[in-house]
Amino acid sequence: MLDLVAEPGLPTELAHRLVRDLPAALGAHDDARWEVRVSDEPIVLDERGALPALDIGDRVRERDGNDAVVLLTDLPRRSGADPVVADGGTGHLMPADPRTPGRQERRAPAMRAP
């Protein structure tokens, strides 16, 4: 299951458009059946003015018991002077092969606008 956590307004409208096509697109690469849900809730910055994306994702995953979380927001993000278009984290990956011991932990690089 995939949760699209979207802020009220344009991000929620986009999420509802995506939810129609995402299950088929995600399932096109394997035999898995994906369920995609939209959660309309405010996404707020932390006390330092940063977007705590991984913390929000962890909270939503624990609350809803889903496999993955995507946040959709129109909050401006920057890395220095560069705008950040997308950022991702894979801090809680489990091995694809359940016989593989341990947990894989890594962070995906941010994608920045040119």
Encode pLDDT of 22-59 as tens digits: 998 888 887 788 899 999 888 888 888 788 888 888 88
- Determine the structural domain holding residue 106 and report its residue range: 2-112
Residue at token pair 């309309």 = 40
Query: Which residues does 94 contact at the CB level (< 8 Å), separation at least 6?
Result: 103, 104
**How would you classify the pairing of strands 36-40 and 2-6?**
parallel
What is the tally of structural domains in the chain? 1
Encode pLDDT of 43-100 as tens digits: 888 888 788 888 888 888 889 888 888 999 887 777 788 877 776 666 655 444 444 4
